Amino acid sequence: MKKVFHFLLIISLAAGVVSCKKSDPPAPDNTVNFESAKQGLEAAATEAVVKINLATASSVAVPLTVNLTNTGLSYGLEYTTEPAAANNTLSLTIPAGGTSVSFKVKKVANAVINGTEKIDFTISFAGNPTVLGTTVKTQLSFSSITSEGSRLTLKGIAGAEAGSGALNSVFVDLSSNSMVNVKRDSWVLGFSSGTDFRVKLNNTNRTSAIKLSAKADLNTVTATDVVLNDLAIQLGTPESNDVKPFVNIDNVYGDVTKDIIANVSATDADNKVYIVNPSGGSHTSVLSLDNLLKIRILRKGNGYTLQYAKLKETTFKTLDITKDAANNFVFIAFDESAKVVNVEPSKAKWDFVWTWSVYYGLMGTAPYPYGFSDVVFVNNLGGAQAAQVATTTVAYADYKESNIATTTFKGERNVIGSDWRSTSPATGVKTDRFYVIKDAAGNVYKLRFISMGAGDAGKRGEPVLEYVLVKKG
């Protein structure tokens, strides 16, 4: 009898376990989608990058099959892909732990392209444990496009990592429905390509600097000229008459005339030495003399000459930098030597950037440096403008071309800033407002944020937004 009782007890417990599992909510499908439903490849461009994303990282490699359908052109004659396609089919793999894969479409040299050509890409197969999402088709037009709107997920994280301190800055171009991800720590200095001779620090990586007003020769600068604490960023310290916590970082409001490095003078003797901490540091960081750079910048024609060395080195190197009229800045990184790196897209090819950056908070009316996640800066130097609109004035769905005349556009880069979301309290995206963006070509878009992870069921580091064309420029 005891045996029967034990047997029935085991069955009962097993049934209870099964019952509990059945009551658990099912895990959401890990969907695979093209990053956008439409892209353009303008006449001056030689290649385009098409990206496919997973909703979440997969623990195993995910094989994908993408079919190509051509309109007005042939594979191998007018274009190729990287990796190569076979019989108008691409075989791709999202690696284990990854969230995306991309491929390139390249124009064949000297091919005759008239601008009406198109390629339709369709994800026809995705391996387990993924399922096809809602954007399994995308079209690449061999001409520039003016997007009528889309929903975008900004990939600020890298691989399976997530969190408020996302590793990428994401540059968004609404008219081409495209995004470019750039590692925040991929550069140190940005040299203006405008009519001025400004040089900016990388606030998205907490780069700090101080000026040695008495020094105009790198070889005379030694460690004894530097007080390490002068390079520490005083995060959370309010500004007052006696305390200047913003004194070693670039202007957080975007006023380039108030950046740390002075406008480069045509008189060489006026250009002093700066000490730069390229990797950033707050008052809680442990700074090291070994990581510091000493730099001096001169004009060379309509460009620059950068003199640089590690602080403890007794000789310096030089790098000549030519302005690039297609870009706001020429960006420089430092390894063993200084080198030009790609960061921002060309100034006509992005409207705003989502990123982490040293920004500001307020204690009463006193500002203080603060490391902000999910901050958005408008490409004001490239001609973009923006406005914040309260939904009590007009609902997002009702905003149309007739509303543009009463919309006050601003040219400051922080029109959006951090005002679109709340993390303290953690309520996420603010639904009482949306934004209107006018790009450099005169296209006007309305834009609202859908989720960002803190209190709105989104994912931190991957904010979701949608936008609609209101008026074509």
- Sequence-ordered alpha helix ranges (H) in 2-77: 2-23
Predicted confidence (pLDDT) per residue in 152-199, tens digit: 999 887 544 555 667 899 999 999 998 999 999 999 999 999 999 999
pLDDT of residue 453: 87
pLDDT of residue 373: 87
Binned at pLDDT 50, 70 and 90, residue 221 comes out as very high
Judge whether residue 12 has pLDDT over 70: no
Judge whether residue 277 has pLDDT over 60: yes
Ranges 23-32, 57-66, 455-464: which has the least confidence: 23-32
pLDDT of residue 281: 61
pLDDT of residue 9: 39
Q: Tell me, which fold does domain 30-144 have in CATH?
A: Immunoglobulin-like (2.60.40)
Helix (H, G, I), strand (E, B) or coil at 325: coil
pLDDT average, residue stretch 418-445: 95
Report the relative pairing of strands 30-34 and 130-132 from DSSP bridges. parallel
Mean pLDDT, the chain, integer: 91
In whole angstroms, give the CA distance from residue 352 to residue 178: 11
pLDDT of residue 424: 86
The share of the chain scoring above pLDDT 70, in percent, equals 91
Predicted confidence (pLDDT) per residue in 60-80, tens digit: 999 999 999 999 999 999 999
Q: Of 16, 84, 29, nearest to 62 (Cα)?
A: 29
In whole angstroms, give the CA distance from residue 339 to residue 191: 12
Binned at pLDDT 50, 70 and 90, residue 21 comes out as very low
CA distances from 218 to 50, 274, 289, 331 (A): 46, 9, 16, 22
Binned at pLDDT 50, 70 and 90, residue 43 comes out as confident
pLDDT average, residue stretch 255-277: 97
Amino acid at 364: G
In whole angstroms, give the CA distance from residue 438 to residue 469: 10
Based on the number of CB atoms within 10 Å of its own CB, is 118 exposed (0-12), middle (13-18) or buried (19 or more)?
Answer: middle
Helix (H, G, I), strand (E, B) or coil at 367: strand
CA 247, 253, 259, 265 torsion: positive or negative?
negative
pLDDT of residue 152: 93
More confident residue, 425 or 66: 66
In whole angstroms, give the CA distance from residue 254 to residue 353: 13
In whole angstroms, give the CA distance from residue 353 to residue 240: 31
What is the domain partition of the chain in residue ranges? 30-144, 188-342, 348-471
Judge whether residue 393 has pLDDT over 90: yes
